[in-house]
Amino acid sequence: MYWLFRLHNILPRDFTEMSSHEQMIMAAFVHQEIEDIRKENEQLNGK
């Protein structure tokens, strides 16, 4: 939830008011975004 608030301006209240399906989708998007950033960092650092 912190990631959504800090980087996407989604308040914790907004997240908790979403349906469970929307929350699952948001969580999947966050995980994918983190993985994408991790891969980009590895490429930039030559790993």
**What is the number of structural domains in the chain?**
1
C-alpha to C-alpha distance for 20 and 22, rounded to whole angstroms: 5
Tell me: the pLDDT tens digits for 18-39?
999 999 999 999 999 999 999 9
15 inside domain: yes
How far, in whole angstroms, is CA 10 from its chain's centroid?
Answer: 11
38 inside domain: yes
Tell me: the pLDDT tens digits for 11-20?
999 999 999 9
Domain extent at residue 32: 2-42
Residue with tokens 């929307």: 22
Predicted TM-score (pTM) of the model is 0.79
